[in-house]
Structures are given as C-alpha cells and as structure tokens.
Amino acid sequence: MLLAQLTPDPNWLNSGDNAWQLTAATLVGLMSIPGLAILYAGIMKRKWAVNSAMMVLYAFAMTLIVWTLFAYNMSFGHPMIGHVVGQPGTVLSANSLEQQAQIPLLNGLVPPIRFPLSTLVYFQFVFAAITVIILGGSLLGRISFKAWALLVPLWITLVYSVGAFSIWGGGWLSQMGAVDFSGGYVIHVAAAVSGFTAAAVVGPRLLRDRQHTSPSNLIMAVAGGGLLWLGWSGFNGGDTYFANPDAAAAVLNTHLCTATALCTWVMWDALRFKKVSVAGAINGMVAGLVAITPAAGYIDGYAALVLGLLAGTLPWITINVAPRFALFRRVDDTLGVIHTHGVAGAMGGLFTGVMADPKMLVYYGPNHNGAGASVVTGLWYGNPHQLLVQFFALLFIIGYDAVATFIIIKLIGLVVPLRAPDAHLEAGDQLIHGEVAVDLEPYPGAPHLPVPAVVGAT
C-alpha cells in the first residue's frame, strides 16, 4: 500500500547521470577531506601538522554553509551587475532541492540536465571548497586562525562567485566564448593568485621555518596526494554533467597527462639534482592534474600527452628559477601554489585555446544522438579567436582576484591580527590548538630505555 502512494520519479530524471554526479562530487570532496588535510599535514613541519589540517577542515565546513545560503546562486543563479555575478539566494527549500537543475553552458546553451538541483549544488560546492583550501596552501605556517576563519567566507562570497559566474554560470566571459572545463582558471589560477596576494600581505613564516622545511611525514603526504590523483576522476569526469563518452575521455586524459607530468618532473630532478624526490614527484603530479583540468574534455589523448610534458617542465622551471627574483624571495608562498597551480592552470587554459578538438563533443542532446552538441575549436583546428578569449579570461581572473583579495585581507587585518603571535609561530600546534599530530612523549611510568648503539659509530 505504501509503495502505491509513492510519487514516481519525474520524467526528466536519469538515474545514471544522477548517480555519476553524486559519485563524482564525493570523489572531489575526498580530495579535500581527507586528501589535502593529509597532504598538508604530511608535507609541513611537524609543529604545523594539526594547524594545517584544521584549516582544511574548517574551510570545507564553512564553505558549505555559505554556499547553500547564498553563494551558489551568486555563482550559478540569475544574473546581476552586468552578468558578472548572480543574485544571492538560498537553495534550501524543498522546491529548490528537488527541482530539475538548470545551468547555462557554452554559447548560452541550456541543456536539459537530468538530475536535481540538490545534486548540482553538492557537486559545485566541493569545487568551491577545494579552491579556498588550495589558496590556504600559500598561507600555512603563520596566518592566525581567526583571520583564516574570516577569509574563507568572504573570499568565497566576493571572489570565487565572480569567477565562477563569469565563466561557468552564463556570465559575460562565457558569452564571449571563454571555456574552462573543470576549473583551470576558476579554481587553480584563482587560488594561486589570491594565495600569493594574501601571502604578500600577511608576511613570511619565521626564517628558521623557511630554511628548515623537513616534512613531518612524507608517506602521509603520498597518501594525500594519491587521494588527489584518483579523486580527480570526479573533478574532470563530472563536468560534462552527463555519464557520456566525453566524461570517460576526460577521465583518461586526466590520468594520462598527470602520469606524463610526474615522470617529466622526476626526469628534470634527476638531471639537475642527480636524485629524485617524493616531494618533487608530488609537485609533478599536482602540476599535471592542474594543467589538464581546463582542457580535459576539449582535447584528445595526443594533446594530453603533450600537455603533460609541458606541465612537468614549465612549473619545474619556474619553481626552481623564481627564487632568483626579489618578488619571490620576499613573498613566502608556503607550498609554491603559484607554480603548481597558477602556472599550470594558466598554461592549461591557454593550451585549450590552441588544441581544443571540435570532435570532442562535450554535451549531447537528450537522445544522445549528437544533436545540440557543444564543441570548442582551438587555434590548431582553425579558430584563433578561442586562444584570444582564453587569454582575456586569464587576465580578468588574475586582475580581479588579486585586487579583490588584497582588499579583503587588508579589511580583515583591521578586525583581527593577520599573523599568529610570535609565541605561536615558535611553538606551532601545541600552543595554538593544545594538540600535537604525533605524541612523542613517553607515557607515565614508562621504563627508561637506553638508546641503541648505531652500528659502525665511533
């Protein structure tokens, strides 16, 4: 009797597409929690492991609250202020959560997306959250937690939403033809530019922390990096909004480019430093993942291989050459986000303008017969205009995010201290949170054991 009273699924709902979007979103969420929390804690000095992970946990939670209350509609809702940002509004009512999702795609196309709005809100939330978390990688080891607590909601509201709406939400850049498959500009360039700007204002870590940067646990960093790599299947595979052939191609391109970039970075390390390192391999992996992100569903596999070679080379050059310049010596970008995310993301977005293949069909019509397909054609295939608009979109993201972030961080500094007190910078987690990542103290009553002799020691 109960089954007979249940309302049937609406005819627009496709369970396969809905299941894939929810799965892809969860994969992306795992990249932050626990992925980046583990990676940050493992790659930072031991005294900063807890603080680094806590910054990730807080940012993930706060972003979801802000996102559902007003920031989702600012990023994907009805336009306001010249198609630069959407009108704020909640997405928490029953009607909102279960209505059919609608989102403008390339060239103003609004496809009949076949899953509910709640799925789309969840999917786009994990993208917003990981963006501000990546930004935080530039500020680890000295920003006060109070300043971070204010920066997260303000940055999502005033910076992220503008870039997301302008390129993804039907805004003015998308109407010009600018594309960004999964966030090379909206996520990675935005996080890198904003992180670098904020780092310049907040100031550097203690000198000894900059000179002695031994990771607390490289194996945990590998675990966090592995969650990033595999989670990226949802990052790039979900952005077609359909469980279609282009989603599969985007996933394969993602892993092909990343593997190539990692091997290329390791090769350069071996040639330059005569040894390879786990930290270098992680940097190469991240650069490859970031570079393919704006291009994943627009380029073919040959282009993905070439992009991997570039991603393992150009950011490697900048991260090793940049310290020669005064600006990069003065600005303490803790994890080198400007290189692995900023340089790689910009390169991937411009590469899309060159190598976007019109045979890569991002969107299929409701019958999956190719009708209404959304395609992008790059310079290599006869459309130089695409590279031009990609370059223009890059300049906008860099310029707006730098200025807006500078203003936000300065305003926060009027309310709370931007830097943790010197005593906190000296002690780290123990003084800031009253916790440590690994308890190295002997338990009460533990017997005192002699230190074993080292074989061969004199």
Q: How confident is the model at residue 240 (pLDDT cuts 50, 70, 90)?
A: confident
Of 153, 147, 91, which Cα lies nearest the Cα of 123?
91
Residue 114 CB burial class (10 angstroms; 0-12, 13-18, ≥19):
buried
Note the pLDDT tens digit of each residue in 315-355. Answer: 999 999 988 899 899 999 999 999 999 999 999 999 999 99
Is 104 contained in some domain?
no
User: Looking at residue 96, what is its pLDDT?
Assistant: 85
Q: Which residues contact 115 (CB under 8 A, 6 or more apart)?
A: 13, 14, 17, 18, 21, 100, 101, 241
Is 98 contained in some domain?
no
Is 410 contained in some domain?
yes
Note the pLDDT tens digit of each residue in 244-288. Answer: 899 999 999 999 999 999 999 999 999 999 999 999 999 999 999
Of the listed ranges 3-12, 135-144, 151-160, the one predicted with least confidence:
3-12
Q: How many whole angstroms separate alpha carbon 182 and alpha carbon 195? A: 20
Computed over every residue of the chain, the mean pLDDT equals 91
Q: Are 16 and 243 in contact (CB under 8 A)?
A: yes
Residues paired with 374 in a beta bridge: 363
Is 237 contained in some domain?
yes
Please report, for the domain that includes residue 423, its CATH number. 1.10.3430.10
User: Looking at residue 86, what is its pLDDT?
Assistant: 94
User: Hey, what are 399's tokens?
Assistant: 């310029």
Q: Into how many domains does the chain fold? A: 1
Note the pLDDT tens digit of each residue in 9-28. Answer: 888 888 999 999 999 999 99
Note the pLDDT tens digit of each residue in 44-61. Answer: 999 999 999 999 999 999
- DSSP code per residue over 337-405: HIIIIIIHHHHHHHHHHHH--TTS--B--TTSSSTT-B----GGGT-HHHHHHHHHHHHHHHHHHHHHH
Is 263 contained in some domain?
yes
Q: What is the mean pLDDT of residues 419-447?
A: 84
* Residue 98 or 409, more confident: 409
* Residue 114 or 418, more confident: 418
**208, amino acid identity:** R
- How many Cβ atoms are within 10 Å of 224's Cβ, its own excluded? 25
pLDDT at 2 over 70: no
Is 299 contained in some domain?
yes
Q: What is the mean pLDDT of residues 33-46?
A: 96
CA 383 to centroid of chain Cα atoms: 29
Residues paired with 100 in a beta bridge: 116
Q: What are phi and psi of 209, to 5 degrees?
A: -70, -30
Note the pLDDT tens digit of each residue in 181-226. Answer: 999 999 999 999 999 999 999 999 999 999 888 899 999 999 999 9
User: Looking at residue 255, what is its pLDDT?
Assistant: 98
pLDDT at 447 over 90: no
Query: Could you tell me the residue range of the domain that residue 282 belongs to?
Result: 14-93+111-432
Q: How confident is the model at residue 446 (pLDDT cuts 50, 70, 90)?
A: low
Is 384 contained in some domain?
yes
pLDDT at 369 over 50: no
Is 61 contained in some domain?
yes
Q: How confident is the model at residue 370 (pLDDT cuts 50, 70, 90)?
A: very low
User: Looking at residue 164, what is its pLDDT?
Assistant: 97
User: Looking at residue 282, what is its pLDDT?
Assistant: 97
